[in-house]
Amino acid sequence: MPTITERLGELYARLAEAPPAATADEAYRLIVAALEAVESAWNDDRRMSTPPPEHHHGVIGRDDLIQFHTKGHVLTLRDNGAFEIRDLTGALEFSKPGANGDAVDP
């Protein structure tokens, strides 16, 4: 059975290969679809999951960002489709620019 580190590596590989998103909603759907594909393919009993879309909150001073908190990560999505995934210490694990080429922090 693959470890969570191996499954996260596969998730990040799939996200890197995917076309960039143009909106935060597209970025969220991309992350959810990639995560579900990884977890379904590896059929793990203890599945990683994303929070429901309504469980996001804004970022003070940044009207263009929303965040989701999971058990082990913080997902930050920008209105241009860019996103970052950080661990709970704040270390960046993955980032992808939006369709316009801009990152979460331009």
Take residue 27 and report the two structure tokens written for it: 């970025």
If one counts every other C-beta atom within 10 angstroms of the C-beta of residue 47, the result is: 13
Whether the per-residue pLDDT at 41 is higher than 90: the answer is no
Higher-pLDDT residue of 54, 85: 85
Whether the per-residue pLDDT at 102 is higher than 80: the answer is yes
Mean pLDDT for all residues in the chain:
92
pTM, entire model: 0.91
Average pLDDT, integer, range 40-55: 79
Residue 42 has a pLDDT of 81
Residue 38 to residue 40: CA distance in whole angstroms? 6
Take residue 20 and report the two structure tokens written for it: 């960039």
Residue 3 has a pLDDT of 87
pLDDT digits (tens, 9 = 90+) for 60-101: 999 999 999 998 999 999 999 999 999 999 999 999 999 999
pLDDT digits (tens, 9 = 90+) for 17-27: 999 999 999 99
12: pLDDT confidence band, cut at 50, 70 and 90?
A: very high
